[in-house]
Chains A and B, each alone.
Chain A
């Protein structure tokens, strides 16, 4: 799941400055689940914005609307009608959703109300942890299900480095577990320690360019 957090309030307030009618659009997908940009969070933010602008005696109308997903055109039908009278849009989706909204309404300024932080898992209620950086060259099969890119402070693909403590912590911080120590422990348990000796070549870092993925079964459908 994509995890996001709300931007500092002053930053959001500054974005809405100078507009008379703003629509805050929530997302019912990932940002709703991580409790950053669902219908409730849209309502809370709008109340804060209204109060803040009222204190400065600024006349601004901020309305709310939540769609099920801001990353899929199928869910925009109603928003298309609602958005017309507004001067600007505040989006409480992830970065992908914000761009999708901006592409759909190119004549309107679209502002992100959230910072997209990572792809992660739910540890507990309101507690999320980063587990993947979508590098496109997954090595989890070799590293016993521990991602060295995400969980090693130096993102080393050939580890461990010399900074691992006897207790298995990273030199960066005593509270940070060493990913490679974890990899070693698990590989040993699985009798696959030879994996750690394999030298992994330099990576291509293809994720520096914009990605597009068409699943195999759909390749003929979208062939140009």
Chain B
């Protein structure tokens, strides 16, 4: 099976580098394959190039070097027509950081309809998609509300519904939880996980929250424009020293497990999430007693 997204030798350099002495490209020779239905978290500290990577995937930015194949189609091809670009953006939706700056309309359902309207879909079908999308993110009862009266988490869920209504195969979340309070973050994360599990939508989640990355199937760590780690959350969190060297920390629960293991306690199981770690420690305590 061909991978859904295949990135090879990707480099990107911003044009306005003259001001800064730093001539290093923001992304440097990145190669990566992502399969359909995967849930990938892209980790990295500020300025590591992770957001740039996201913007390259749906042609908001054009790579300086390298090749991106989406569903077998080379999107770096200069012959891409406007229709091809629309088709690509329909398939790869993107949810951004600031919930306020991505809602266009003054009523929730009108905003969700914005994407499909742009695609020229028939009105009845749009209606159906909007209702479905709002149900999927649990915002049906807010369909007629004004976005500015919603909480951050609710706005972000509306933004997700707006992307869902275009029926994409992949959604990129560019630090979509960074501006939310813990409650809102939880709401949004639940929606993201559900989309991936139930709708089989490929999720690429750009983040710097370890707890969120732990929920993914796979973690890719980018530092200084290069991929330094790529694997399951368990494997990645094992490399605690390497993560620390690029300004990242393992989740607190994992850190605790690591500390206990260093003290000679034998915690078994590949535990990454909060619940799993708690269960593993509880099991150990029971065993010792």
A binds B: no
